[in-house]
Amino acid sequence: MSYLVGSPGPNGFGPASTAEDVTRGLNLEKLTIMITGATSGIGFEAAKALAERGARIVMPSLTMKEGLEAKDKIVALTPKARIVVMKLDLSDLNSVRNFATEFKQSELPLNVLMNNAGLSLNDAPRQTKDGLEMMFAVNFIGHYALTNLLLDTMRSTAKDSGIQGRIVIVSGGVYAKFTPPGGIIFEQLVGSKNPYYGLTGYSQSKLACIYHCLELSKQLEKEGANITVNTLHPGAIRTGLVHMKGIKGYISDNLPSFLFKTPQQGASTQVFLAVHPKAEGVTGKYYADCNEYFLEGEAHNTELLKKTLKWADEWISTH
Protein backbone atom coordinates (compact mmCIF):
# COMPACT_ATOMS: atom_id res chain seq x y z
CA MET A 1 0.00 0.00 0.00
CA SER A 2 2.90 2.35 0.73
CA TYR A 3 3.89 2.08 -2.95
CA LEU A 4 0.54 3.49 -4.07
CA VAL A 5 0.38 6.08 -1.30
CA GLY A 6 4.00 7.08 -1.78
CA SER A 7 5.04 7.10 1.87
CA PRO A 8 8.58 8.49 2.37
CA GLY A 9 11.26 6.30 3.93
CA PRO A 10 14.06 7.08 6.43
CA ASN A 11 15.88 9.30 3.91
CA GLY A 12 12.83 11.53 3.52
CA PHE A 13 11.96 10.32 0.02
CA GLY A 14 9.71 7.56 -1.25
CA PRO A 15 8.02 6.05 -4.30
CA ALA A 16 6.36 9.32 -5.28
CA SER A 17 9.58 11.35 -5.13
CA THR A 18 10.98 12.64 -8.41
CA ALA A 19 14.51 13.34 -9.61
CA GLU A 20 13.70 17.03 -9.20
CA ASP A 21 12.68 16.42 -5.58
CA VAL A 22 15.92 14.71 -4.59
CA THR A 23 18.11 17.36 -6.25
CA ARG A 24 16.20 20.38 -4.96
CA GLY A 25 18.58 22.92 -3.44
CA LEU A 26 21.74 21.16 -4.64
CA ASN A 27 24.47 22.96 -6.57
CA LEU A 28 26.13 20.38 -8.84
CA GLU A 29 28.30 22.70 -10.93
CA LYS A 30 31.51 20.95 -9.85
CA LEU A 31 30.33 17.53 -11.05
CA THR A 32 30.76 15.74 -14.35
CA ILE A 33 28.24 12.90 -14.59
CA MET A 34 28.15 10.23 -17.29
CA ILE A 35 24.75 8.61 -17.85
CA THR A 36 24.31 5.73 -20.29
CA GLY A 37 20.87 5.46 -21.84
CA ALA A 38 20.21 9.15 -21.22
CA THR A 39 18.45 9.81 -24.52
CA SER A 40 15.09 8.51 -23.28
CA GLY A 41 13.15 7.15 -20.30
CA ILE A 42 14.50 7.44 -16.77
CA GLY A 43 18.00 8.16 -18.05
CA PHE A 44 16.76 11.26 -19.84
CA GLU A 45 14.87 12.39 -16.74
CA ALA A 46 18.00 11.90 -14.64
CA ALA A 47 20.09 13.90 -17.11
CA LYS A 48 17.51 16.67 -17.25
CA ALA A 49 17.27 17.04 -13.47
CA LEU A 50 21.05 16.93 -12.93
CA ALA A 51 21.76 19.39 -15.75
CA GLU A 52 19.23 21.79 -14.25
CA ARG A 53 21.27 21.78 -11.02
CA GLY A 54 24.44 22.65 -12.93
CA ALA A 55 26.16 19.29 -13.51
CA ARG A 56 28.01 18.67 -16.75
CA ILE A 57 26.36 15.65 -18.38
CA VAL A 58 28.23 13.22 -20.60
CA MET A 59 25.63 11.47 -22.72
CA PRO A 60 26.81 8.32 -24.54
CA SER A 61 24.41 7.60 -27.38
CA LEU A 62 23.93 4.78 -29.84
CA THR A 63 23.69 7.40 -32.61
CA MET A 64 24.84 11.01 -32.56
CA LYS A 65 21.49 12.08 -34.00
CA GLU A 66 19.60 10.58 -31.07
CA GLY A 67 22.02 12.09 -28.57
CA LEU A 68 21.92 15.56 -30.08
CA GLU A 69 18.12 15.52 -30.15
CA ALA A 70 18.06 14.64 -26.44
CA LYS A 71 20.60 17.38 -25.75
CA ASP A 72 18.44 19.93 -27.58
CA LYS A 73 15.42 19.00 -25.46
CA ILE A 74 17.35 19.57 -22.24
CA VAL A 75 18.93 22.82 -23.45
CA ALA A 76 15.47 24.10 -24.43
CA LEU A 77 14.48 23.73 -20.77
CA THR A 78 17.83 24.71 -19.24
CA PRO A 79 19.68 27.01 -21.68
CA LYS A 80 22.91 26.89 -19.64
CA ALA A 81 22.95 23.08 -19.55
CA ARG A 82 26.34 21.52 -20.28
CA ILE A 83 25.81 18.36 -22.33
CA VAL A 84 28.55 16.38 -24.07
CA VAL A 85 27.26 13.82 -26.58
CA MET A 86 29.49 10.89 -27.58
CA LYS A 87 28.83 7.76 -29.61
CA LEU A 88 28.66 4.40 -27.79
CA ASP A 89 27.26 0.99 -28.65
CA LEU A 90 27.26 -1.07 -25.46
CA SER A 91 26.69 -4.30 -27.41
CA ASP A 92 30.03 -3.86 -29.20
CA LEU A 93 33.17 -4.12 -27.05
CA ASN A 94 35.26 -2.34 -29.68
CA SER A 95 32.84 0.58 -29.48
CA VAL A 96 33.15 0.55 -25.68
CA ARG A 97 36.95 0.63 -25.92
CA ASN A 98 36.91 3.41 -28.53
CA PHE A 99 34.49 5.43 -26.43
CA ALA A 100 36.66 5.11 -23.33
CA THR A 101 39.74 6.18 -25.29
CA GLU A 102 37.93 9.17 -26.74
CA PHE A 103 36.63 10.20 -23.35
CA LYS A 104 40.10 10.00 -21.78
CA GLN A 105 41.53 12.06 -24.63
CA SER A 106 38.96 14.77 -23.87
CA GLU A 107 40.64 15.15 -20.45
CA LEU A 108 37.27 15.70 -18.82
CA PRO A 109 36.95 14.67 -15.18
CA LEU A 110 34.46 12.00 -14.15
CA ASN A 111 32.81 12.26 -10.75
CA VAL A 112 29.80 10.02 -11.31
CA LEU A 113 29.20 7.09 -13.64
CA MET A 114 25.55 6.07 -13.93
CA ASN A 115 25.14 2.70 -15.68
CA ASN A 116 21.52 3.24 -16.61
CA ALA A 117 21.03 1.94 -20.16
CA GLY A 118 18.85 -1.14 -20.41
CA LEU A 119 17.56 -3.40 -23.15
CA SER A 120 14.64 -5.80 -22.95
CA LEU A 121 13.71 -8.07 -25.86
CA ASN A 122 10.37 -9.83 -25.67
CA ASP A 123 9.91 -11.29 -29.15
CA ALA A 124 12.88 -13.57 -29.86
CA PRO A 125 16.51 -14.11 -28.84
CA ARG A 126 19.08 -11.81 -30.42
CA GLN A 127 22.84 -11.97 -30.44
CA THR A 128 25.65 -9.45 -30.80
CA LYS A 129 28.07 -9.80 -33.71
CA ASP A 130 30.20 -11.93 -31.37
CA GLY A 131 27.27 -14.25 -30.66
CA LEU A 132 26.53 -13.09 -27.10
CA GLU A 133 22.92 -12.80 -25.98
CA MET A 134 22.03 -9.17 -26.59
CA MET A 135 20.46 -8.23 -23.24
CA PHE A 136 23.34 -9.73 -21.26
CA ALA A 137 25.75 -7.88 -23.56
CA VAL A 138 24.13 -4.45 -23.23
CA ASN A 139 22.82 -4.55 -19.67
CA PHE A 140 25.86 -6.13 -18.07
CA ILE A 141 28.95 -6.90 -20.17
CA GLY A 142 29.11 -3.52 -21.93
CA HIS A 143 28.69 -1.63 -18.67
CA TYR A 144 31.13 -3.91 -16.86
CA ALA A 145 33.81 -3.25 -19.49
CA LEU A 146 33.04 0.49 -19.60
CA THR A 147 33.33 0.83 -15.83
CA ASN A 148 36.67 -0.95 -15.72
CA LEU A 149 38.03 1.26 -18.51
CA LEU A 150 36.96 4.46 -16.75
CA LEU A 151 38.02 3.57 -13.20
CA ASP A 152 41.43 5.24 -13.42
CA THR A 153 39.80 8.47 -14.57
CA MET A 154 37.36 8.29 -11.67
CA ARG A 155 40.19 7.59 -9.21
CA SER A 156 42.13 10.61 -10.47
CA THR A 157 39.07 12.86 -10.41
CA ALA A 158 38.22 11.88 -6.84
CA LYS A 159 41.79 12.44 -5.71
CA ASP A 160 42.28 15.77 -7.51
CA SER A 161 38.88 17.23 -6.64
CA GLY A 162 38.48 15.87 -3.13
CA ILE A 163 34.92 14.94 -4.09
CA GLN A 164 33.86 11.35 -3.55
CA GLY A 165 33.24 9.51 -6.81
CA ARG A 166 30.08 7.50 -7.20
CA ILE A 167 29.18 4.60 -9.48
CA VAL A 168 25.47 3.87 -9.76
CA ILE A 169 24.32 0.64 -11.38
CA VAL A 170 20.66 0.32 -12.36
CA SER A 171 19.46 -3.22 -11.71
CA GLY A 172 15.86 -4.19 -10.98
CA GLY A 173 13.69 -6.19 -8.62
CA VAL A 174 12.98 -8.76 -11.33
CA TYR A 175 16.29 -10.49 -10.55
CA ALA A 176 14.70 -12.09 -7.46
CA LYS A 177 11.73 -13.73 -9.17
CA PHE A 178 12.32 -14.30 -12.86
CA THR A 179 15.90 -15.50 -13.33
CA PRO A 180 16.18 -19.01 -14.81
CA PRO A 181 16.90 -21.97 -12.51
CA GLY A 182 20.51 -21.61 -11.46
CA GLY A 183 20.47 -17.83 -11.80
CA ILE A 184 22.62 -17.39 -14.91
CA ILE A 185 22.94 -20.08 -17.58
CA PHE A 186 26.40 -19.39 -19.01
CA GLU A 187 26.45 -22.23 -21.51
CA GLN A 188 23.39 -20.76 -23.22
CA LEU A 189 24.52 -17.13 -23.33
CA VAL A 190 26.39 -17.65 -26.59
CA GLY A 191 24.88 -18.82 -29.86
CA SER A 192 21.53 -18.79 -31.58
CA LYS A 193 19.88 -21.44 -29.39
CA ASN A 194 19.69 -19.30 -26.25
CA PRO A 195 16.12 -19.77 -24.95
CA TYR A 196 16.29 -16.93 -22.46
CA TYR A 197 14.80 -13.70 -23.68
CA GLY A 198 11.98 -11.48 -22.44
CA LEU A 199 11.68 -11.20 -18.68
CA THR A 200 13.83 -14.27 -17.97
CA GLY A 201 16.81 -13.11 -20.00
CA TYR A 202 16.44 -9.55 -18.75
CA SER A 203 16.41 -10.78 -15.15
CA GLN A 204 19.64 -12.75 -15.40
CA SER A 205 21.40 -9.70 -16.84
CA LYS A 206 20.17 -7.61 -13.91
CA LEU A 207 21.36 -10.21 -11.40
CA ALA A 208 24.81 -9.89 -12.97
CA CYS A 209 24.59 -6.10 -12.46
CA ILE A 210 24.06 -6.67 -8.74
CA TYR A 211 27.10 -8.93 -8.61
CA HIS A 212 29.12 -6.20 -10.33
CA CYS A 213 28.11 -3.70 -7.64
CA LEU A 214 28.82 -6.00 -4.71
CA GLU A 215 32.27 -7.01 -5.90
CA LEU A 216 33.44 -3.63 -7.19
CA SER A 217 32.39 -1.85 -4.00
CA LYS A 218 34.55 -4.27 -1.97
CA GLN A 219 37.47 -3.86 -4.35
CA LEU A 220 37.43 -0.07 -4.22
CA GLU A 221 36.91 0.02 -0.48
CA LYS A 222 39.85 -2.35 0.04
CA GLU A 223 42.20 -0.21 -2.06
CA GLY A 224 41.08 2.96 -0.29
CA ALA A 225 39.68 4.63 -3.39
CA ASN A 226 37.29 7.48 -2.66
CA ILE A 227 34.56 5.96 -4.85
CA THR A 228 31.30 4.33 -3.82
CA VAL A 229 29.32 1.76 -5.81
CA ASN A 230 25.61 1.11 -5.32
CA THR A 231 22.80 -0.56 -7.25
CA LEU A 232 19.06 -0.04 -7.30
CA HIS A 233 15.58 -1.01 -8.39
CA PRO A 234 13.95 2.00 -10.11
CA GLY A 235 10.41 0.65 -9.71
CA ALA A 236 7.65 -0.29 -12.11
CA ILE A 237 7.69 2.38 -14.81
CA ARG A 238 5.80 2.54 -18.08
CA THR A 239 8.56 3.48 -20.55
CA GLY A 240 9.80 2.11 -23.87
CA LEU A 241 11.35 -0.87 -22.07
CA VAL A 242 9.08 -3.86 -22.69
CA HIS A 243 9.53 -7.12 -20.79
CA MET A 244 6.53 -9.26 -21.66
CA LYS A 245 4.72 -10.47 -24.75
CA GLY A 246 1.34 -12.03 -25.52
CA ILE A 247 -1.47 -11.84 -23.01
CA LYS A 248 0.86 -10.87 -20.14
CA GLY A 249 2.19 -7.99 -22.16
CA TYR A 250 -1.31 -6.91 -23.14
CA ILE A 251 -2.43 -6.95 -19.50
CA SER A 252 0.67 -5.00 -18.42
CA ASP A 253 0.15 -2.40 -21.14
CA ASN A 254 -3.46 -1.87 -20.11
CA LEU A 255 -3.08 -1.62 -16.34
CA PRO A 256 -4.13 1.75 -14.92
CA SER A 257 -1.40 4.40 -14.86
CA PHE A 258 -1.55 4.89 -11.09
CA LEU A 259 0.04 1.45 -10.65
CA PHE A 260 3.21 2.70 -12.33
CA LYS A 261 5.76 5.35 -11.50
CA THR A 262 6.26 8.20 -13.92
CA PRO A 263 9.71 8.38 -15.56
CA GLN A 264 10.45 11.38 -13.31
CA GLN A 265 9.72 9.24 -10.26
CA GLY A 266 11.59 6.28 -11.72
CA ALA A 267 14.75 8.37 -12.05
CA SER A 268 14.76 9.48 -8.42
CA THR A 269 16.66 6.61 -6.80
CA GLN A 270 19.60 6.62 -9.19
CA VAL A 271 19.84 10.40 -8.91
CA PHE A 272 19.70 10.14 -5.11
CA LEU A 273 22.61 7.68 -5.11
CA ALA A 274 24.53 9.80 -7.61
CA VAL A 275 24.46 13.16 -5.86
CA HIS A 276 22.50 13.39 -2.63
CA PRO A 277 24.49 14.14 0.54
CA LYS A 278 22.65 11.38 2.42
CA ALA A 279 24.20 8.81 0.05
CA GLU A 280 27.77 9.98 0.67
CA GLY A 281 29.94 7.18 2.04
CA VAL A 282 27.30 4.55 1.31
CA THR A 283 28.69 1.67 -0.75
CA GLY A 284 27.81 -1.88 -1.74
CA LYS A 285 24.11 -1.36 -1.10
CA TYR A 286 20.86 -2.02 -2.96
CA TYR A 287 18.27 0.76 -2.97
CA ALA A 288 14.62 1.19 -3.93
CA ASP A 289 12.49 4.32 -3.59
CA CYS A 290 15.59 6.28 -2.45
CA ASN A 291 16.08 4.05 0.59
CA GLU A 292 18.20 1.00 1.32
CA TYR A 293 16.41 -2.24 0.49
CA PHE A 294 17.21 -5.91 1.06
CA LEU A 295 18.60 -8.35 -1.48
CA GLU A 296 17.03 -11.76 -2.01
CA GLY A 297 17.75 -15.23 -3.34
CA GLU A 298 20.59 -15.61 -5.84
CA ALA A 299 21.96 -12.16 -4.97
CA HIS A 300 23.53 -13.86 -1.95
CA ASN A 301 25.09 -16.66 -4.02
CA THR A 302 28.80 -15.85 -3.64
CA GLU A 303 29.91 -18.75 -5.84
CA LEU A 304 27.71 -17.59 -8.69
CA LEU A 305 28.98 -14.05 -8.17
CA LYS A 306 32.59 -15.20 -8.60
CA LYS A 307 31.70 -17.35 -11.60
CA THR A 308 29.81 -14.49 -13.28
CA LEU A 309 32.61 -11.94 -12.96
CA LYS A 310 35.26 -14.48 -13.98
CA TRP A 311 33.16 -15.35 -17.05
CA ALA A 312 32.81 -11.64 -17.85
CA ASP A 313 36.55 -11.02 -17.54
CA GLU A 314 37.34 -13.94 -19.83
CA TRP A 315 34.74 -12.90 -22.42
CA ILE A 316 36.03 -9.32 -22.53
CA SER A 317 39.67 -10.37 -22.74
CA THR A 318 38.98 -12.60 -25.76
CA HIS A 319 36.62 -10.31 -27.72
**Catalytic center residues:** 196
For every residue of the chain, DSSP letters joined together read -HHHHT---TTS--TT--HHHHHTT---TT-EEEETTTTSHHHHHHHHHHHHTT-EEEEEESSHHHHHHHHHHHHHH-TT-EEEEEE--TT-HHHHHHHHHHHHHHT---SEEEE-------SS--B-TTSBBHHHIIIIIHHHHHHHHHHHHHHHHHHHH-PPEEEEEE--TTHHHHSPTTS--GGGSBSTT----HHHHHHHHHHHHHHHHHHHHHHHHHHT-SEEEEEEE---B-SS-----HHHHHHHHTS-GGGSB-HHHHTHHHHHHHH-GGGTT--S-EEETTEEE---GGGG-HHHHHHHHHHHHHHHHT-
- List the end-to-end C-alpha distance of the chain, in Å, as a whole number: 47
